[in-house]
Structure 1
Protein backbone atom coordinates (compact mmCIF):
# COMPACT_ATOMS: atom_id res chain seq x y z
CA UNK A 1 0.00 0.00 0.00
CA UNK A 2 1.37 3.38 -1.01
CA UNK A 3 1.52 6.11 1.62
CA UNK A 4 -0.66 9.14 0.94
CA UNK A 5 1.35 11.94 -0.61
CA UNK A 6 1.34 15.24 1.23
CA UNK A 7 0.44 18.12 -1.11
CA UNK A 8 3.38 20.31 -2.03
CA UNK A 9 2.64 23.74 -0.60
CA UNK A 10 6.19 25.04 -0.74
CA UNK A 11 6.82 28.07 -2.91
CA UNK A 12 9.64 27.91 -5.40
CA UNK A 13 11.37 30.69 -7.28
CA UNK A 14 14.04 29.93 -9.91
CA UNK A 15 14.23 26.36 -8.61
CA UNK A 16 14.79 27.32 -4.99
CA UNK A 17 12.42 26.65 -2.10
CA UNK A 18 11.47 29.87 -0.33
CA UNK A 19 9.19 28.37 2.31
CA UNK A 20 5.74 26.88 2.83
CA UNK A 21 2.63 28.79 1.94
CA UNK A 22 1.17 30.63 4.92
CA UNK A 23 -2.50 31.04 5.78
CA UNK A 24 -4.01 33.16 8.55
CA UNK A 25 -7.36 31.97 9.91
CA UNK A 26 -9.48 34.01 12.32
CA UNK A 27 -11.72 32.59 15.04
CA UNK A 28 -9.97 29.26 15.58
CA UNK A 29 -10.70 28.49 19.23
CA UNK A 30 -13.60 26.19 18.33
CA UNK A 31 -15.94 24.96 15.62
CA UNK A 32 -15.25 25.51 11.93
CA UNK A 33 -12.21 27.69 12.59
CA UNK A 34 -10.53 25.05 14.72
CA UNK A 35 -11.28 22.33 12.16
CA UNK A 36 -10.08 24.51 9.28
CA UNK A 37 -6.80 25.30 11.05
CA UNK A 38 -6.03 21.62 11.60
CA UNK A 39 -7.09 20.72 8.05
CA UNK A 40 -4.96 23.48 6.52
CA UNK A 41 -1.93 22.27 8.47
CA UNK A 42 -2.62 18.69 7.37
CA UNK A 43 -2.67 19.99 3.78
CA UNK A 44 0.85 21.31 4.34
CA UNK A 45 0.24 24.99 5.02
CA UNK A 46 1.96 26.99 7.72
CA UNK A 47 -1.19 27.92 9.63
CA UNK A 48 -1.46 31.01 11.78
CA UNK A 49 -4.49 30.26 13.95
CA UNK A 50 -5.80 33.44 15.52
CA UNK A 51 -8.33 34.05 18.26
CA UNK A 52 -9.43 36.88 20.50
CA UNK A 53 -8.48 34.98 23.67
CA UNK A 54 -5.40 32.80 23.24
CA UNK A 55 -6.16 31.28 26.63
CA UNK A 56 -8.77 29.23 24.75
CA UNK A 57 -6.20 27.59 22.47
CA UNK A 58 -6.06 24.28 24.36
CA UNK A 59 -8.65 22.47 22.22
CA UNK A 60 -6.95 23.55 19.00
CA UNK A 61 -3.48 22.55 20.19
CA UNK A 62 -4.77 19.18 21.37
CA UNK A 63 -6.41 18.53 17.99
CA UNK A 64 -3.25 19.62 16.18
CA UNK A 65 -1.10 17.29 18.28
CA UNK A 66 -3.46 14.37 17.72
CA UNK A 67 -3.30 15.03 13.96
CA UNK A 68 0.48 15.27 13.99
CA UNK A 69 0.58 18.87 12.74
CA UNK A 70 1.34 20.87 15.88
CA UNK A 71 4.61 22.04 14.31
CA UNK A 72 2.69 23.74 11.48
CA UNK A 73 0.25 25.67 13.67
CA UNK A 74 1.09 28.96 15.35
CA UNK A 75 -1.46 30.55 17.67
CA UNK A 76 -1.70 34.33 17.69
CA UNK A 77 -3.95 36.93 19.25
CA UNK A 78 -6.21 38.78 16.84
CA UNK A 79 -9.40 40.64 17.71
CA UNK A 80 -11.13 41.57 14.45
CA UNK A 81 -12.88 44.58 16.00
CA UNK A 82 -9.57 46.09 17.21
CA UNK A 83 -7.71 47.70 14.27
CA UNK A 84 -4.41 47.78 16.14
CA UNK A 85 -4.71 44.05 16.91
CA UNK A 86 -5.36 43.29 13.22
CA UNK A 87 -2.39 45.34 12.01
CA UNK A 88 -0.03 44.01 14.65
CA UNK A 89 -0.90 40.39 13.92
CA UNK A 90 -0.48 40.72 10.15
CA UNK A 91 2.80 42.58 10.52
CA UNK A 92 4.09 39.81 12.79
CA UNK A 93 3.01 37.08 10.37
CA UNK A 94 4.78 38.64 7.41
CA UNK A 95 7.86 39.44 9.50
CA UNK A 96 8.11 35.92 10.89
CA UNK A 97 7.12 33.90 7.81
CA UNK A 98 8.11 36.24 5.00
CA UNK A 99 4.76 36.01 3.23
CA UNK A 100 0.99 35.65 3.48
CA UNK A 101 -0.67 33.46 0.86
CA UNK A 102 -4.23 33.28 2.14
CA UNK A 103 -6.63 34.81 4.63
CA UNK A 104 -9.60 32.86 5.97
CA UNK A 105 -12.15 35.17 7.57
CA UNK A 106 -13.98 32.88 9.98
CA UNK A 107 -14.45 34.83 13.24
CA UNK A 108 -18.07 35.71 13.91
CA UNK A 109 -20.79 35.96 16.51
CA UNK A 110 -24.46 35.06 16.34
CA UNK A 111 -27.30 37.23 17.58
CA UNK A 112 -30.90 36.20 18.21
CA UNK A 113 -33.66 38.76 18.60
CA UNK A 114 -36.00 41.11 16.79
CA UNK A 115 -35.53 44.83 16.51
CA UNK A 116 -38.65 46.23 18.19
CA UNK A 117 -37.81 44.60 21.51
CA UNK A 118 -34.03 44.60 21.02
CA UNK A 119 -31.38 47.31 21.12
CA UNK A 120 -29.52 49.19 18.41
CA UNK A 121 -26.32 48.62 20.36
CA UNK A 122 -26.72 44.86 19.94
CA UNK A 123 -27.25 45.28 16.21
CA UNK A 124 -24.18 47.50 15.93
CA UNK A 125 -22.12 44.96 17.89
CA UNK A 126 -23.19 42.17 15.53
CA UNK A 127 -22.22 44.30 12.54
CA UNK A 128 -18.84 45.15 14.06
CA UNK A 129 -17.81 41.50 14.47
CA UNK A 130 -19.45 39.92 11.48
CA UNK A 131 -19.02 42.66 8.86
CA UNK A 132 -16.59 45.41 9.82
CA UNK A 133 -14.19 42.89 11.35
CA UNK A 134 -14.09 41.03 8.03
CA UNK A 135 -13.59 44.27 6.10
CA UNK A 136 -10.78 45.44 8.38
CA UNK A 137 -8.90 42.15 8.28
CA UNK A 138 -9.27 41.83 4.51
CA UNK A 139 -8.11 45.40 3.97
CA UNK A 140 -5.00 44.84 6.06
CA UNK A 141 -4.20 41.53 4.33
CA UNK A 142 -4.63 42.63 0.71
CA UNK A 143 -1.21 44.25 0.19
CA UNK A 144 0.46 41.02 1.33
CA UNK A 145 -1.87 38.86 -0.76
CA UNK A 146 -1.16 40.96 -3.84
CA UNK A 147 2.51 40.17 -3.37
CA UNK A 148 1.86 36.42 -3.39
CA UNK A 149 -1.17 36.37 -5.73
CA UNK A 150 -3.04 34.84 -2.82
CA UNK A 151 -6.59 34.19 -1.75
CA UNK A 152 -9.30 35.55 0.52
CA UNK A 153 -11.72 32.89 1.76
CA UNK A 154 -14.58 34.14 3.90
CA UNK A 155 -16.93 31.96 5.91
CA UNK A 156 -20.35 33.56 5.61
CA UNK A 157 -23.49 31.47 6.09
CA UNK A 158 -26.63 30.38 4.30
CA UNK A 159 -27.90 33.26 6.45
CA UNK A 160 -25.91 35.55 4.18
CA UNK A 161 -28.26 34.62 1.35
CA UNK A 162 -31.58 33.76 3.03
CA UNK A 163 -32.93 36.12 5.68
CA UNK A 164 -34.04 34.12 8.71
CA UNK A 165 -36.50 34.99 11.49
CA UNK A 166 -35.02 36.42 14.69
CA UNK A 167 -31.60 36.64 12.96
CA UNK A 168 -32.08 40.16 11.62
CA UNK A 169 -28.75 41.55 12.81
CA UNK A 170 -26.76 38.41 12.03
CA UNK A 171 -28.25 37.99 8.55
CA UNK A 172 -27.86 41.70 7.82
CA UNK A 173 -24.15 41.43 8.60
CA UNK A 174 -23.71 38.25 6.57
CA UNK A 175 -25.66 39.76 3.64
CA UNK A 176 -23.28 42.71 3.85
CA UNK A 177 -20.25 40.42 3.79
CA UNK A 178 -21.57 38.59 0.74
CA UNK A 179 -22.20 41.88 -1.08
CA UNK A 180 -18.79 43.21 -0.10
CA UNK A 181 -16.97 40.09 -1.28
CA UNK A 182 -19.02 39.72 -4.47
CA UNK A 183 -18.14 43.32 -5.33
CA UNK A 184 -14.49 42.93 -4.33
CA UNK A 185 -13.90 39.68 -6.24
CA UNK A 186 -13.54 41.06 -9.79
CA UNK A 187 -11.46 43.98 -8.56
CA UNK A 188 -9.12 41.77 -6.53
CA UNK A 189 -8.78 39.42 -9.49
CA UNK A 190 -7.15 42.21 -11.53
CA UNK A 191 -4.21 42.12 -9.11
CA UNK A 192 -4.09 38.34 -8.83
CA UNK A 193 -6.08 37.79 -5.64
CA UNK A 194 -8.92 35.22 -5.70
CA UNK A 195 -11.98 35.76 -3.49
CA UNK A 196 -14.36 33.01 -2.32
CA UNK A 197 -17.23 32.84 0.16
CA UNK A 198 -18.08 29.57 1.93
CA UNK A 199 -21.66 29.15 3.11
CA UNK A 200 -22.31 26.61 5.89
CA UNK A 201 -25.76 25.63 7.07
CA UNK A 202 -26.33 24.24 10.56
CA UNK A 203 -23.04 23.11 12.10
CA UNK A 204 -22.80 21.15 15.34
CA UNK A 205 -20.26 23.36 17.05
CA UNK A 206 -19.80 25.63 20.03
CA UNK A 207 -20.99 28.58 17.92
CA UNK A 208 -24.55 27.94 19.11
CA UNK A 209 -23.51 27.08 22.65
CA UNK A 210 -21.37 30.22 22.81
CA UNK A 211 -24.51 32.33 22.37
CA UNK A 212 -25.27 31.63 26.00
CA UNK A 213 -28.96 32.02 25.28
CA UNK A 214 -31.19 32.36 28.31
CA UNK A 215 -34.33 31.12 26.56
CA UNK A 216 -36.78 31.94 29.39
CA UNK A 217 -35.39 35.49 29.57
CA UNK A 218 -35.57 35.85 25.78
CA UNK A 219 -39.17 34.74 25.75
CA UNK A 220 -40.04 36.97 28.71
CA UNK A 221 -38.59 39.97 26.88
CA UNK A 222 -40.09 39.17 23.50
CA UNK A 223 -43.47 40.77 24.22
CA UNK A 224 -45.91 40.14 21.37
CA UNK A 225 -43.25 38.15 19.50
CA UNK A 226 -42.92 35.47 22.21
CA UNK A 227 -45.07 32.81 20.47
CA UNK A 228 -43.14 33.25 17.21
CA UNK A 229 -39.80 33.14 19.04
CA UNK A 230 -40.80 29.98 20.89
CA UNK A 231 -41.69 28.32 17.58
CA UNK A 232 -38.42 29.48 16.02
CA UNK A 233 -36.30 28.16 18.91
CA UNK A 234 -38.04 24.76 18.79
CA UNK A 235 -37.48 24.51 15.04
CA UNK A 236 -33.83 25.57 15.32
CA UNK A 237 -33.06 23.03 18.04
CA UNK A 238 -34.37 20.28 15.76
CA UNK A 239 -32.36 21.50 12.75
CA UNK A 240 -29.11 21.50 14.72
CA UNK A 241 -29.79 17.89 15.68
CA UNK A 242 -28.99 16.98 12.05
CA UNK A 243 -26.13 19.42 11.61
CA UNK A 244 -22.80 18.94 9.86
CA UNK A 245 -19.67 18.40 11.90
CA UNK A 246 -17.15 21.25 11.95
CA UNK A 247 -14.72 19.08 9.96
CA UNK A 248 -17.32 18.53 7.24
CA UNK A 249 -18.03 22.25 7.06
CA UNK A 250 -14.32 23.08 6.99
CA UNK A 251 -13.50 20.79 4.05
CA UNK A 252 -14.70 23.28 1.39
CA UNK A 253 -12.48 25.94 2.94
CA UNK A 254 -9.46 23.79 2.18
CA UNK A 255 -10.79 23.19 -1.33
CA UNK A 256 -10.97 26.96 -1.78
CA UNK A 257 -7.39 27.31 -0.57
CA UNK A 258 -5.95 24.59 -2.75
CA UNK A 259 -8.14 24.39 -5.88
CA UNK A 260 -6.84 25.75 -9.17
CA UNK A 261 -9.85 28.01 -9.81
CA UNK A 262 -12.21 27.95 -6.82
CA UNK A 263 -15.76 29.15 -7.35
CA UNK A 264 -16.79 32.45 -5.84
CA UNK A 265 -19.63 30.86 -3.83
CA UNK A 266 -19.33 27.42 -2.21
CA UNK A 267 -21.92 25.75 0.02
CA UNK A 268 -20.76 23.14 2.53
CA UNK A 269 -23.49 20.55 1.96
CA UNK A 270 -26.21 19.41 -0.43
CA UNK A 271 -28.80 20.86 1.98
CA UNK A 272 -27.05 24.24 1.96
CA UNK A 273 -26.93 24.25 -1.87
CA UNK A 274 -30.66 23.54 -2.06
CA UNK A 275 -31.46 26.16 0.58
CA UNK A 276 -29.37 28.87 -1.09
CA UNK A 277 -30.73 27.83 -4.48
CA UNK A 278 -34.26 28.56 -3.29
CA UNK A 279 -33.30 32.20 -2.73
CA UNK A 280 -31.22 32.63 -5.87
CA UNK A 281 -34.16 31.48 -8.00
CA UNK A 282 -36.75 33.46 -5.99
CA UNK A 283 -37.03 36.69 -7.98
CA UNK A 284 -40.10 38.03 -6.14
CA UNK A 285 -39.28 36.74 -2.65
CA UNK A 286 -42.42 34.64 -2.30
CA UNK A 287 -40.66 31.27 -2.03
CA UNK A 288 -38.42 32.37 0.85
CA UNK A 289 -41.31 34.06 2.68
CA UNK A 290 -43.46 30.95 2.35
CA UNK A 291 -40.63 28.85 3.73
CA UNK A 292 -39.59 31.02 6.68
CA UNK A 293 -43.15 31.87 7.74
CA UNK A 294 -43.45 28.22 8.74
CA UNK A 295 -40.56 28.62 11.17
CA UNK A 296 -42.44 31.02 13.42
CA UNK A 297 -45.89 29.39 13.56
Structure 2
Protein backbone atom coordinates (compact mmCIF):
# COMPACT_ATOMS: atom_id res chain seq x y z
CA UNK A 1 0.00 0.00 0.00
CA UNK A 2 1.43 3.41 -0.96
CA UNK A 3 2.25 6.02 1.66
CA UNK A 4 -0.74 8.08 2.71
CA UNK A 5 -0.73 11.80 1.92
CA UNK A 6 -1.85 14.56 4.28
CA UNK A 7 -2.13 18.22 3.35
CA UNK A 8 -1.60 20.63 6.22
CA UNK A 9 -2.26 24.37 5.98
CA UNK A 10 -0.41 27.09 7.85
CA UNK A 11 2.87 25.24 8.42
CA UNK A 12 5.38 28.09 8.55
CA UNK A 13 5.33 28.19 12.37
CA UNK A 14 3.65 27.02 15.55
CA UNK A 15 1.21 24.12 15.58
CA UNK A 16 1.23 23.73 11.81
CA UNK A 17 5.01 23.39 11.65
CA UNK A 18 5.10 20.91 14.52
CA UNK A 19 2.23 18.88 13.06
CA UNK A 20 3.93 18.66 9.66
CA UNK A 21 7.11 17.28 11.22
CA UNK A 22 5.25 14.90 13.56
CA UNK A 23 3.07 13.56 10.74
CA UNK A 24 6.16 12.93 8.60
CA UNK A 25 7.75 11.09 11.52
CA UNK A 26 4.60 8.93 11.67
CA UNK A 27 5.11 7.85 8.06
CA UNK A 28 2.84 10.26 6.20
CA UNK A 29 3.78 12.00 2.98
CA UNK A 30 3.26 15.57 4.17
CA UNK A 31 2.23 18.35 1.83
CA UNK A 32 3.08 21.34 4.00
CA UNK A 33 1.44 24.49 2.74
CA UNK A 34 1.79 28.16 3.50
CA UNK A 35 0.87 31.42 1.81
CA UNK A 36 4.50 32.52 1.41
CA UNK A 37 6.96 29.69 0.79
CA UNK A 38 9.92 32.00 1.43
CA UNK A 39 8.99 31.53 5.09
CA UNK A 40 9.59 27.76 4.94
CA UNK A 41 13.07 27.94 6.48
CA UNK A 42 12.05 27.06 10.04
CA UNK A 43 9.92 24.13 8.86
CA UNK A 44 12.64 22.72 6.61
CA UNK A 45 15.22 23.05 9.37
CA UNK A 46 12.93 21.28 11.85
CA UNK A 47 12.22 18.50 9.36
CA UNK A 48 15.91 18.03 8.65
CA UNK A 49 16.70 17.90 12.37
CA UNK A 50 13.99 15.22 12.77
CA UNK A 51 15.37 13.20 9.86
CA UNK A 52 12.26 13.56 7.70
CA UNK A 53 11.24 15.46 4.60
CA UNK A 54 8.15 17.49 3.78
CA UNK A 55 6.75 18.70 0.47
CA UNK A 56 6.37 22.48 0.77
CA UNK A 57 3.79 24.11 -1.49
CA UNK A 58 2.17 27.51 -1.77
CA UNK A 59 -1.45 27.80 -0.70
CA UNK A 60 -3.41 30.90 0.27
CA UNK A 61 -6.55 29.61 1.96
CA UNK A 62 -8.42 32.83 1.17
CA UNK A 63 -7.81 32.46 -2.58
CA UNK A 64 -9.92 29.75 -4.27
CA UNK A 65 -7.61 29.77 -7.31
CA UNK A 66 -4.58 29.12 -5.10
CA UNK A 67 -6.44 26.31 -3.33
CA UNK A 68 -7.50 24.71 -6.62
CA UNK A 69 -3.98 24.91 -8.04
CA UNK A 70 -2.47 23.29 -4.97
CA UNK A 71 -4.98 20.42 -4.90
CA UNK A 72 -4.63 19.87 -8.66
CA UNK A 73 -0.96 19.11 -8.11
CA UNK A 74 -1.70 16.09 -5.89
CA UNK A 75 -2.07 12.51 -7.10
CA UNK A 76 -3.96 11.45 -4.00
CA UNK A 77 -5.10 12.80 -0.66
CA UNK A 78 -5.91 10.79 2.44
CA UNK A 79 -6.26 13.53 5.02
CA UNK A 80 -6.56 17.28 5.35
CA UNK A 81 -5.51 19.27 8.40
CA UNK A 82 -7.00 22.77 8.32
CA UNK A 83 -4.62 24.67 10.57
CA UNK A 84 -4.06 28.08 8.97
CA UNK A 85 -5.59 30.89 10.96
CA UNK A 86 -5.04 34.34 12.40
CA UNK A 87 -5.76 35.85 15.79
CA UNK A 88 -7.46 39.18 16.39
CA UNK A 89 -7.91 41.27 19.53
CA UNK A 90 -10.50 44.03 19.69
CA UNK A 91 -14.07 44.78 20.67
CA UNK A 92 -17.00 45.59 18.42
CA UNK A 93 -17.29 49.32 19.07
CA UNK A 94 -13.63 49.88 18.22
CA UNK A 95 -13.04 47.67 15.19
CA UNK A 96 -14.46 47.96 11.71
CA UNK A 97 -16.79 45.47 10.10
CA UNK A 98 -14.07 45.08 7.47
CA UNK A 99 -11.69 43.92 10.23
CA UNK A 100 -14.21 41.28 11.27
CA UNK A 101 -14.71 40.18 7.66
CA UNK A 102 -10.95 39.73 7.28
CA UNK A 103 -10.85 37.47 10.34
CA UNK A 104 -13.74 35.43 8.97
CA UNK A 105 -12.05 35.12 5.56
CA UNK A 106 -8.98 33.43 7.02
CA UNK A 107 -10.43 31.46 9.91
CA UNK A 108 -13.80 30.41 8.47
CA UNK A 109 -14.04 30.82 4.71
CA UNK A 110 -10.42 29.69 4.31
CA UNK A 111 -11.35 26.40 5.96
CA UNK A 112 -14.37 26.07 3.66
CA UNK A 113 -12.37 26.78 0.49
CA UNK A 114 -9.79 24.08 1.24
CA UNK A 115 -12.24 21.50 2.57
CA UNK A 116 -14.59 21.91 -0.40
CA UNK A 117 -11.74 21.43 -2.86
CA UNK A 118 -10.36 18.43 -0.97
CA UNK A 119 -13.58 16.47 -0.43
CA UNK A 120 -13.68 14.69 -3.83
CA UNK A 121 -10.19 13.28 -3.25
CA UNK A 122 -11.01 12.41 0.35
CA UNK A 123 -14.15 10.56 -0.74
CA UNK A 124 -12.00 8.51 -3.12
CA UNK A 125 -9.58 7.57 -0.33
CA UNK A 126 -12.17 7.27 2.47
CA UNK A 127 -10.08 9.87 4.21
CA UNK A 128 -10.56 12.41 6.95
CA UNK A 129 -10.76 16.13 7.63
CA UNK A 130 -9.21 17.55 10.79
CA UNK A 131 -9.79 21.22 11.51
CA UNK A 132 -7.84 23.00 14.20
CA UNK A 133 -10.32 25.30 15.89
CA UNK A 134 -9.71 26.44 19.47
CA UNK A 135 -11.24 26.37 22.89
CA UNK A 136 -12.34 29.77 21.60
CA UNK A 137 -14.64 27.87 19.29
CA UNK A 138 -16.51 26.59 22.35
CA UNK A 139 -16.29 29.49 24.81
CA UNK A 140 -16.52 33.08 23.64
CA UNK A 141 -13.68 35.11 25.11
CA UNK A 142 -13.46 38.84 25.88
CA UNK A 143 -11.82 40.97 23.18
CA UNK A 144 -11.73 37.93 20.88
CA UNK A 145 -15.18 38.51 19.44
CA UNK A 146 -14.26 38.20 15.75
CA UNK A 147 -11.85 35.31 16.31
CA UNK A 148 -14.29 33.35 18.46
CA UNK A 149 -17.13 34.05 16.03
CA UNK A 150 -15.06 32.52 13.25
CA UNK A 151 -14.11 29.50 15.34
CA UNK A 152 -17.70 29.01 16.51
CA UNK A 153 -18.74 29.09 12.86
CA UNK A 154 -16.15 26.47 11.94
CA UNK A 155 -17.28 24.21 14.77
CA UNK A 156 -20.93 24.52 13.78
CA UNK A 157 -20.16 23.94 10.12
CA UNK A 158 -18.04 20.86 10.80
CA UNK A 159 -20.48 19.44 13.33
CA UNK A 160 -23.18 19.72 10.67
CA UNK A 161 -20.96 18.36 7.90
CA UNK A 162 -19.68 15.37 9.89
CA UNK A 163 -22.70 13.05 9.55
CA UNK A 164 -23.13 13.97 5.89
CA UNK A 165 -19.47 13.30 5.07
CA UNK A 166 -19.64 10.03 7.01
CA UNK A 167 -22.19 8.66 4.53
CA UNK A 168 -19.42 8.75 1.91
CA UNK A 169 -16.72 7.34 4.19
CA UNK A 170 -15.07 10.63 5.18
CA UNK A 171 -14.57 11.37 8.88
CA UNK A 172 -14.60 14.91 10.25
CA UNK A 173 -12.88 16.05 13.46
CA UNK A 174 -12.36 19.39 15.17
CA UNK A 175 -9.25 19.79 17.30
CA UNK A 176 -9.44 22.32 20.12
CA UNK A 177 -6.12 23.57 21.52
CA UNK A 178 -6.02 25.77 24.55
CA UNK A 179 -3.09 28.10 25.16
CA UNK A 180 -0.13 26.97 23.07
CA UNK A 181 3.35 28.46 23.45
CA UNK A 182 3.79 29.75 19.91
CA UNK A 183 3.90 33.12 18.23
CA UNK A 184 0.25 33.92 18.99
CA UNK A 185 0.90 36.26 21.94
CA UNK A 186 3.96 37.91 20.40
CA UNK A 187 1.93 38.54 17.25
CA UNK A 188 -0.45 40.60 19.37
CA UNK A 189 2.17 43.38 19.37
CA UNK A 190 1.78 46.92 20.65
CA UNK A 191 0.00 45.97 23.87
CA UNK A 192 0.51 49.39 25.45
CA UNK A 193 -0.80 51.05 22.30
CA UNK A 194 -3.85 48.78 22.26
CA UNK A 195 -4.68 49.69 25.85
CA UNK A 196 -4.04 53.40 25.26
CA UNK A 197 -6.48 53.35 22.34
CA UNK A 198 -9.15 51.34 24.15
CA UNK A 199 -10.91 54.32 25.69
CA UNK A 200 -13.62 53.17 28.13
CA UNK A 201 -12.53 49.58 27.64
CA UNK A 202 -8.90 50.22 28.70
CA UNK A 203 -9.13 48.79 32.25
CA UNK A 204 -10.84 45.63 31.04
CA UNK A 205 -8.40 45.19 28.15
CA UNK A 206 -5.40 45.70 30.43
CA UNK A 207 -6.73 43.05 32.81
CA UNK A 208 -7.45 40.69 29.90
CA UNK A 209 -3.93 41.05 28.47
CA UNK A 210 -2.34 40.44 31.87
CA UNK A 211 -4.45 37.33 32.41
CA UNK A 212 -3.87 35.96 28.92
CA UNK A 213 -0.13 36.55 29.00
CA UNK A 214 0.11 34.52 32.20
CA UNK A 215 -1.99 31.75 30.64
CA UNK A 216 0.40 31.53 27.71
CA UNK A 217 3.38 31.48 30.07
CA UNK A 218 2.05 28.10 31.27
CA UNK A 219 0.93 26.87 27.86
CA UNK A 220 1.54 23.51 26.28
CA UNK A 221 4.13 23.40 23.51
CA UNK A 222 3.38 23.25 19.80
CA UNK A 223 4.91 19.75 19.79
CA UNK A 224 2.45 18.60 22.46
CA UNK A 225 -0.49 20.00 20.50
CA UNK A 226 0.85 18.38 17.34
CA UNK A 227 1.04 15.01 19.06
CA UNK A 228 -2.69 15.18 19.81
CA UNK A 229 -3.44 16.15 16.22
CA UNK A 230 -1.36 13.30 14.77
CA UNK A 231 -3.03 10.88 17.19
CA UNK A 232 -6.41 11.99 15.82
CA UNK A 233 -5.01 11.67 12.31
CA UNK A 234 -3.89 8.09 12.77
CA UNK A 235 -6.43 6.49 15.11
CA UNK A 236 -8.91 4.03 13.62
CA UNK A 237 -11.97 5.80 15.01
CA UNK A 238 -11.32 9.50 15.53
CA UNK A 239 -13.68 11.39 17.79
CA UNK A 240 -15.50 14.38 16.39
CA UNK A 241 -14.20 16.72 19.12
CA UNK A 242 -10.63 16.45 20.42
CA UNK A 243 -8.86 18.70 22.92
CA UNK A 244 -5.07 18.82 22.94
CA UNK A 245 -4.50 19.03 26.71
CA UNK A 246 -6.12 18.46 30.08
CA UNK A 247 -6.40 22.24 30.48
CA UNK A 248 -8.31 22.47 27.20
CA UNK A 249 -10.60 19.63 28.28
CA UNK A 250 -11.36 21.33 31.59
CA UNK A 251 -11.94 24.67 29.88
CA UNK A 252 -14.38 23.37 27.27
CA UNK A 253 -16.17 21.23 29.84
CA UNK A 254 -17.34 24.45 31.52
CA UNK A 255 -19.37 25.31 28.42
CA UNK A 256 -20.55 21.84 27.51
CA UNK A 257 -22.09 21.41 30.97
CA UNK A 258 -23.50 24.95 31.23
CA UNK A 259 -27.09 24.81 30.04
CA UNK A 260 -28.08 28.41 30.87
CA UNK A 261 -24.75 30.12 30.14
CA UNK A 262 -24.29 31.60 33.59
CA UNK A 263 -21.16 29.62 34.46
CA UNK A 264 -19.37 30.72 31.29
CA UNK A 265 -20.18 34.41 31.75
CA UNK A 266 -19.14 34.34 35.39
CA UNK A 267 -15.91 32.61 34.35
CA UNK A 268 -14.91 34.97 31.54
CA UNK A 269 -16.23 38.07 33.25
CA UNK A 270 -13.75 37.52 36.05
CA UNK A 271 -10.93 37.99 33.52
CA UNK A 272 -11.77 41.66 33.19
CA UNK A 273 -11.27 42.80 36.78
CA UNK A 274 -7.94 43.32 38.51
Report the TM-score range of the alignment, normalised by the length of the smaller protein. over 0.9
- Alignment partners' CA distance in 1, 2:131 and 2:159: 11
Which has the larger Rg? 1
- Alignment partners' CA distance in 2, 1:33 and 1:276: 22
| Structure 2 equivalent of residue 40 of structure 1 | 23
| Structure 2 equivalent of residue 160 of structure 1 | 137
Matches within 5 A, 1:92-171: 92-93=73-74, 98-171=75-148
- Deviations for 1:5-32, whole angstroms, at most 9, x for unmatched residues? xxxxxx3xxxxxxx21000000000000
Matches within 5 A, 1:274-293: 274-293=250-269
- Deviations for 1:113-150, whole angstroms, at most 9, x for unmatched residues? 00101111111000000000001100000000000000
- Alignment partners' CA distance in 2, 1:87 and 1:63: 28
- Alignment partners' CA distance in 2, 1:139 and 1:173: 17
SS of residue paired to 1:24: strand
Contact 2:178 2:244 in 1 (8 A): yes
Unaligned stretches of 5+ residues in structure 2: none
| Structure 2 equivalent of residue 196 of structure 1 | 173
| Structure 2 equivalent of residue 21 of structure 1 | 4
SS of residue paired to 2:220: coil
- CA drift at 1:207: 2.6
Contact 2:185 2:216 in 1 (8 A): no
| 1:226 and 2:202 are equivalent in the alignment | yes
| Structure 2 equivalent of residue 294 of structure 1 | 270
Unaligned stretches of 5+ residues in structure 1: 1-10, 12-18
- Deviations for 1:54-96, whole angstroms, at most 9, x for unmatched residues? 01100000010011002xx100000000110000000112xxx
- Alignment partners' CA distance in 1, 2:248 and 2:192: 30
| Structure 2 equivalent of residue 182 of structure 1 | 159
| 1:74 and 2:51 are equivalent in the alignment | no
SS of residue paired to 1:249: helix
- CA drift at 1:42: 0.3
- CA drift at 1:223: 1.1
| Structure 2 equivalent of residue 252 of structure 1 | 228
Aligned length: 273
TM-score (ref. length: structure 2): 0.98
| Structure 2 equivalent of residue 240 of structure 1 | 216
Contact 1:26 1:50 in 2 (8 A): yes
- Deviations for 1:174-201, whole angstroms, at most 9, x for unmatched residues? 0000000000000000000000010000
SS of residue paired to 1:81: coil
Contact 1:117 1:223 in 2 (8 A): no
- Alignment partners' CA distance in 2, 1:74 and 1:99: 14
Q: 1:271 aligns with which of 244, 247, 253?
A: 247
TM-score (ref. length: structure 1): 0.91
